[in-house]
Amino acid sequence: MQVIEQHRKNRFCVLTGALVVGGLVALGGEERASDAALERALGWTARETLLADAAELGALGVLAGLAAAATAVGLGWAVAKRLSVPFAADPRDAALLFAAAALLPVLVGLLAGASGRRAAVMDALRRDT
């Protein structure tokens, strides 16, 4: 029973952290829109702009996923050691944590920047000044 309850707490913490990361990425949506407009003004295609954003957000997601998984396992180990209880990290939970933390910034960032990639180049550049 305690194991099931702990998994629920872990998932709640993961979802909370994922929402925070997603919110931070979404805040950069306006900056992404102006970057996309500048890239399109320089001759980039919409696909190239989308791929550049996806690569940037993917790198951010991988770093966030690694940090989240390492922190979760490290804190679990530290608490177990302090309480003198056995510790065994569940690789499936760590993998799910990594996947959630890695994919959320990509999804939220691409959605937040979608309107900027669709906007007319001159309109987006005028708003930037």
Which residue bears the tokens 């929402």? 19
Name the amino acid, one letter, at 68. A
Task: Write out the DSSP string of 48-94.
Answer: HHHHHHHHHHHHHHHHHHHHHHHHHHHHHHHHHHHTT------HHHH
- Under 8 Å between Cβ of 58 and 106: yes
Q: Which of 38, 29, 61 is nearest to 129 (CA)?
A: 38
The full set of domain ranges for the chain reads 14-128
Determine the pLDDT at residue 55.
Answer: 92
Determine the pLDDT at residue 13.
Answer: 65
Distance of CA 29 to the CA centre of its chain: 13
Residue 119: pLDDT over 60? yes
| pLDDT tens digits, one per residue of 31-81 | 777 777 788 888 888 889 889 888 988 898 888 888 877 887 888 888 888
What is the mean pLDDT of the segment spanning 11-32?
A: 70
Determine the pLDDT at residue 78.
Answer: 86
**H or E element that contains 13:** helix 2-27
What mean pLDDT value characterizes the chain? 76
Rounded CA separation 44/50 (Å): 10
| pLDDT tens digits, one per residue of 77-108 | 888 888 888 888 778 877 887 888 788 888 88
